[in-house]
Each structure stands twice: as structure tokens, then as C-alpha cells.
């Protein structure tokens, strides 16, 4: 029997890399620091210092590379999951809609 991880279309790569997240919702547009926990071809998991971000929110993610051999990443994405991590932080799952 296949486990949940075996049913994924793309493997996730653990990165634990700091990134910049720009959130655009109905109320405002704001930029914050986040931690990219893992990434795949179609999405990523980010730890943010907010208790909640609404599913469907559009975000822009930028991960700067410290290596000349690995390019920086910039992507537009949509929040598809938000799970509380603590009273002041949460883990969001985003689906990448466009790579810049």
C-alpha cells in the first residue's frame, strides 16, 4: 500500500531557507520574512510570523541564493493550506502559479 508521500506527483526538497514573502489580500499588501521549509515543482511550505493567512490569498515569494551556481527563486503563488504552529506563527502551503 502506498503512503501519502508516495502519492505525490513531485518530490519535496527540504530547504529551510529564509525568504521574503509579499502578501496581497483585500485589506493590504505587506512584506515579511518567512522560512521556506520545503519546495517541490508545484508548491512550497512556508513558516510565517502570523497566526493565520486566509486560503486563496495571493503571495509573491523570493528566495535569494548564496551560491553563484544556484539561481535565486521568485514565484507567484496561492495559499492552499494554513496550519497554526504557535499563537503567533503558522505554516502555509502554497501552490506556485508562475515562476518569475
Cα separation of 26 and 99, whole Å? Answer: 23
Q: Is the pLDDT of residue 24 over 50?
A: yes
Adjacent-strand bridge partners of 38: 14, 45
pLDDT tens for each residue of 42-92:
999 999 999 999 999 999 999 998 888 888 999 999 999 999 999 999 999
Which letter, b or e, does each residue of 47-79 get, where b requires 16 or more Cβ atoms within 10 Å of its Cβ? Answer: bbeeeebeeebebbbebeeeeeeeeebebbbeb
The C-alpha cell at 51 is 497566526
pLDDT band at 2 (very low <50, low <70, confident <90, very high): very low
Average pLDDT over residues 1-6: 48
| pLDDT for position 70 | 81
Amino acid at each position: 500500500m502506498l503512503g501519502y508521500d508516495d502519492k505525490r506527483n513531485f518530490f519535496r526538497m527540504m530547504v529551510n531557507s529564509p525568504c521574503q514573502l509579499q502578501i496581497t489580500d483585500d485589506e493590504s499588501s505587506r512584506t515579511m520574512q518567512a522560512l521556506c521549509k520545503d519546495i517541490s515543482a508545484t508548491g512550497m511550505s512556508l513558516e510565517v510570523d502570523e497566526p493565520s493567512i486566509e486560503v486563496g490569498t495571493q503571495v509573491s515569494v523570493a528566495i535569494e541564493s548564496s551560491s553563484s551556481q544556484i539561481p535565486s527563486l521568485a514565484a507567484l503563488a496561492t495559499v492552499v493550506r494554513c496550519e497554526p504552529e504557535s499563537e503567533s506563527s503558522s505554516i502555509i502551503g502554497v501552490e506556485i502559479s508562475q515562476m518569475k
